[in-house]
Amino acid sequence: MEYLLRRLLWTLPVLLGVLTLVFFLLHLVPGDPVDVMLGENALPADRALMRAELGLDRPLATQYVDFLRRTLSGDLGTSFGSRRPVTHEIAERLPATMELMLGAMAVAFALAFPLGIVAALHHGRWPDHVASFFALLGVAIPNFWLGPLLILLFAVHLDWLPVNERGGLEHLVLPAITLGTALAALLSRMTHTSLVEVLGEDYIRTARAKGVPERTVVARHALRNAAIPVVTVAGLQVGALLSGAIVTESIFDWPGLGSLLLEGIYGRNYPLVQGCVLVIAITYIAINLATDLVYGWLDPRIRQE
Distance CA 273, CA 267 (A): 10
Contact 285, 273 (CB under 8 A): no
Distance CA 90, CA 87 (A): 5
The angle at the Cα of 32, spanning 30 to 37, to the nearest 5 degrees, equals 145
Q: What are residue 78's DSSP bridge partners?
A: 85
In this structure, CATH architecture of domain 87-304:
Orthogonal Bundle (1.10)
Buried b (16+ CB within 10 A) or exposed e, 243-270: ebbbbbbbbbebbbbbbbbbbbbebbbb
Q: pLDDT at position 49, please?
A: 86
At position 160, the amino acid (one-letter code) is W
Q: pLDDT at position 209, please?
A: 83
At position 238, the amino acid (one-letter code) is V
**Which residue, 160, 183, 186, 168, is CA-closest to 104?**
183
Q: pLDDT at position 89, please?
A: 93
Buried b (16+ CB within 10 A) or exposed e, 28-58: eeeeebbeebbeeeeeeeebeebbeebebee
In the chain, which segments carry CATH 1.10.3720.10? 87-304
Q: pLDDT at position 301, please?
A: 55
CA 238 to chain centre: 5
Q: What is the pLDDT along the chain (305 residues), one digit of tens a residue?
A: 666 677 777 778 888 888 888 888 888 877 778 877 777 777 788 888 888 888 888 888 898 999 888 888 888 888 888 888 999 999 999 899 889 988 998 998 898 888 888 888 888 888 888 888 888 888 788 888 888 999 998 888 888 888 777 777 888 899 999 988 888 888 888 888 888 888 887 888 888 888 878 777 777 778 877 877 787 777 777 767 777 788 888 888 888 888 898 888 888 888 999 898 888 888 888 887 777 776 666 565 555 45
Q: Is 101 exposed, middle or buried (0-12, 13-18, 19+ CB in 10 A)?
A: buried
CA 23 to chain centre: 21
Distance CA 12, CA 25 (A): 20
Q: pLDDT at position 4, please?
A: 67
Q: pLDDT at position 300, please?
A: 57
